[in-house]
Amino acid sequence: MTAAIPRPATDTAEQIVSASIRAPPGISVRHCPAPRPRARRFPLPSIVHRRGGRRHGDSPPPGRNGGLLGVLRRKGSGFPQGRAREPRPERGGSRQWETGRMNEPTPPPPVPSPVLLDVWCELQCPDCRSALDDLDALRARYGDRLEIRLRHFPLEKHRHAFAAAQAAEEAFAQGQGWPFVAAVLRRVEDLAASGEPLLVRTAAELGLDSEEFDTALIDGRHILTVDADQAEGKALGVKGTPTYEIGGTLLDGSTSQEGLRARIEEIADGLLAR
């Protein structure tokens, strides 16, 4: 039995542990190493992420359910988790936008374009005055399905024909083109005798701006339009008035107008039936 080694009151922990260990023969107690303290039993969370998965107790990888956002999601916070689903409609019902689309009225079929009838006319021509009745009959039959367009073809033998064509363009600019043309054609003899004053007076009778008419005849603002119509007519083969052009067919009424209206109606009906 070895004698107990007296321990001072101020012994350190290492000295206390060393004193309780039996030293082998020939070895001093002072030279025995003190045992290391035992590790704690409870595991610490690992922050090292391994490829291919993680161990139980490891922290989740960032970007998935880790961090503060993952804690809030797992605890049912008010943060949205993905896009909300649309409510399933009642059986037999449909969504509002589908219902609105189904209830929309079917659009009407497109309105066909009107047939174009060009009338090469001269306002001092007696034959053009005779054609007024045919034009009125065509308007009554076709209405908006037939567009009648005045084209100017003043003849050199009529002194005031060019001024009358310019006046007609000014009447169209003021919204009374065809009424002015009809009124002047019914006064062919007066136009030959009076000239431009008759044109201005006729415009005033229709409620148009007579002063503007007089100015238009002086400054010649419509000369280019009249010249262009006459040049196009000559290029198409127009030689006299009235001459009609419809669907690429040229109908000369300068010598005789018999049967012209029937021919125009035949062509117009064929074009509208397409």
Which residue, among 115, 130, 149, has the nearest Cα to 229 in the 3D structure? 149
- Classify burial at 76, counting beta carbons within 10 Å of its beta carbon; exposed 0-12, middle 13-18, buried 19 or more: exposed
Domain spans of the chain, in order of start: 121-272
**pLDDT band with cut points at 50, 70 and 90 for residue 107:** confident
Q: CA 61, CA 129: separation in Å to the nearest integer? A: 97
Q: Which CATH number fits domain 121-272: 3.40.50.11540, 2.40.240.10, 3.40.50.360, 3.40.30.10?
A: 3.40.30.10
Mean per-residue pLDDT for 88-103?
51
Distance CA 51, CA 264 (A): 89
pTM here is 0.61
How do residues 129-174 score in pLDDT, each as one tens digit? 999 999 999 999 999 999 999 999 999 999 999 999 999 999 999 9
Distance CA 152, CA 122 (A): 6
